[in-house]
Amino acid sequence: MGTGTMAKPRKAPKPKTAPGRLAVAFTLKGSPEWKAWVEELANHSRTDVSKLIDLALVEYAKARGIRDAPKR
């Protein structure tokens, strides 16, 4: 039998988050129209989409008696 090619050793997986950086909590998919609507709401509220979603989640949880969210 001939000599076969060996598989290359796998590289160690890269860490998901660099030290000191926040991890991605989740991603939302939506139509381009929905995305534009969310961005319009964020601009109207003088904030960015990430902070708008954070605020909406905090208010939603508070309205349902859920404990305060930990710091992001």
pLDDT tens, residue by residue, 11-68: 877 766 677 888 888 899 999 999 999 999 999 999 999 999 999 999 999 999 999 9
Query: Residue 36 sits in which domain range?
Result: 32-63
Question: Under a CB-based contact definition with an 8 Å cutoff, are residues 36 and 43 in contact?
Answer: no
Task: Please tell me whether residue 16 adopts helix, strand or coil conformation.
Answer: coil
Report if residue 2 sits inside a domain: no
Question: Under a CB-based contact definition with an 8 Å cutoff, are residues 47 and 55 in contact?
Answer: yes
Number of domains within the chain: 1
pLDDT attached to residue 20 = 81
pLDDT attached to residue 2 = 64
Report if residue 70 sits inside a domain: no
Supply the Cα-derived Rg of the chain in whole angstroms: 21
CA–CA separation, 12 and 29 (whole Å): 30
What global pTM score does this model have? 0.66
